[in-house]
Structure 1
């Protein structure tokens, strides 16, 4: 089976009102074939009050984003409740259990990592990264967050640029969503 490597996502919160998620645009098939350069893997949802980014299978991630938005509507925009409901559904539903993706979701109060294992994790730090180049982007965000005065969007963009210079599954065609 050919594996698709589909992204690097990084999220940063700088203070109370500076929240940003960004992702690269590359989708790679196997170890060598770049299938797409300009995929968009970050999106504002639920009345533009929540920003999400996903890594993993693109079709699975789109499906999860749609289901997550429905959960947000069911829970009147409460990010934590919607994330727990999505994770429970993802873990227990036979069809969803095979979906291969991770999601970062953030609103003005919370930043969460949601996985198909039923995990909803609120990172200790005000930054998190996932995907093929996630470790590189996380290290860059950590250094920039702790040793510069850059705002959230600047850290996200620079972290993704750094990751793209190291990770073959990450490019510098960056898309960003900010709250």
Structure 2
């Protein structure tokens, strides 16, 4: 899978709720360009929430394509993700895009990459971006040792831990809940 240096996005399903969050830092090389970027998008009135890491323009192109796929495949998120990954990998223009996505609905959390990957993560924890392994490790520990926490608390704390370690991740968090 492509390694994206630029952000942290994490999604967690826990105790019947699905929550996704991202930090707000945008970097240009080794400089912070903006500290309050919104890297999450709510689709279908909150039934699907997406998060992206990588080039913003590339991510918006992919989000538009994903919405097209949702329309074409009856709002079936999993099928739309697979069709997007196939097109992303084989289309001459799309194959040059440098981004990754997490998409989540009430039933599934998926990671989509330009390599043709559509991954259903283990333990209902998905993470992408430069701080993803820090956030994922923290989330796994919380699921195991602090199951009383809510999914939102786990996402928030995972992102804060990643922000404490990863220079491409900050503490300006945006967190959304899947609602349907």
Report if the CA contact (8 A) 2:15-2:150 is conserved: no
Task: Give ranges in structure 1 of 5+ residues lacking alignment.
Answer: none
Say yes or no: does 1:154 pair with 2:157: no
1:86 maps to which of 84, 87, 93: 84
Q: 2:47 — aligned with what?
A: 49
Say yes or no: does 1:132 pair with 2:141: no
Tell me the distance in 2 between the aligned counterparts of 1:70 and 1:146: 38
Say yes or no: does 1:172 pair with 2:171: yes
Report if the CA contact (8 A) 1:5-1:30 is conserved: no
Tell me the distance in 2 between the aligned counterparts of 1:93 and 1:61: 15
Q: Map residues 31-110 of structure 1 onto 2, 5 A cutoff.
A: 31=30, 33-110=31-108
Tell me the distance in 2 between the aligned counterparts of 1:70 and 1:112: 17
TM-score scaled by length of structure 2: 0.93
Report if the CA contact (8 A) 1:51-1:105 is conserved: yes
Q: Map residues 116-127 of structure 1 onto 2, 5 A cutoff.
A: 116-127=114-125
Tell me the distance in 1 between the aligned counterparts of 2:75 and 2:114: 21
Runs of 4+ in 1 over 2 A off after TM superposition: none
Q: How many residues align?
A: 174
SS of alignment partner, residue 125 of structure 1: helix
Report if the CA contact (8 A) 1:102-1:113 is conserved: yes
SS of alignment partner, residue 75 of structure 2: coil
Q: 2:10 — aligned with what?
A: 10
Tell me the distance in 2 between the aligned counterparts of 1:73 and 1:81: 11
Report if the CA contact (8 A) 2:46-2:177 is conserved: no
Task: Give ranges in structure 2 of 5+ residues lacking alignment.
Answer: none
Tell me the distance in 2 between the aligned counterparts of 1:75 and 1:154: 33
